[in-house]
Amino acid sequence: MCFICERIGMIQKGTNPYFVKELETGYVVIGDHQHFKGYTLFLFKEHVTELHLIDRSTKMKFLEEMSIVAQAVQNAFGAEKMNYEMLGNGEAHMHWHLFPRRKNDLGEYGNNGKGPVWWYPMDKMYDDAN
């Protein structure tokens, strides 16, 4: 069983402390680490690895719900810009990473405090989260 399936199992048992909301196609959870305050994930309910492997109507609903979640995160956390990622190399289970971004949220890193999340040193990111 993959890590995301395990987390979904915890949601279904009522033991996932990061669970926020269930939608038709997925689950909204707050990210374990919050360097970017409001970092949220949207987990597809089924263990599927790629968007092209699901039927069109489910795919469109998943994308629509991800967009609704992103808007809610932006509103709740005052993001100036939302960043979206659906990678899956680490966990091959469809899920979106939603990063609410603000001016200078990278501090001295990146391009004048702007840039992709990977410009922020991982060791510092985890230190900041604690």
Q: What is the CATH number of the domain that holds 51?
A: 3.30.428.10
Reported confidence tier of residue 122, pLDDT bands at 50, 70, 90? low
Q: What is the dihedral angle through the alpha carbons of 30, 75, 117, 128, rounded to the nearest 10 degrees?
A: -60
Cα of 105 vs its chain's centroid, Å = 17
Note the pTM of the prediction, 2 decimals.
0.84
Angle at 29 between CA 23 and CA 34, to 5 degrees: 150
Report how many domains make up the chain.
Answer: 1
Residue 97, domain extent? 3-129
Residue 82 has pLDDT above 50, yes or no: yes
Give me the pLDDT at residue 90, please. Answer: 86
> Minimum mean pLDDT among 31-35, 44-48, 58-62, 63-67: which range?
31-35
Give me the pLDDT at residue 107, please. Answer: 72
Give me the pLDDT at residue 111, please. Answer: 64
Q: Is the Cβ–Cβ distance between 54 and 48 less than 8 Å?
A: yes
3-state SS, one letter per residue, for 11-48: HHHCCCCCEEEECCCEEEEECCCCCCCCCEEEEECCCC
Calculate the average pLDDT of the chain. 88
Six-digit token string for 29: 């959870």
Q: What is the mean pLDDT of residues 53-64?
A: 98
Query: What's the rounded Cα separation, in Å, for the pair 11 and 111?
Result: 38
Higher pLDDT, residue 102 or 55? 55
The tens digit of pLDDT for each residue in 108-120 reads 666 666 666 655 5
Q: What is the mean pLDDT of residues 74-81?
A: 96
Reported confidence tier of residue 105, pLDDT bands at 50, 70, 90? confident
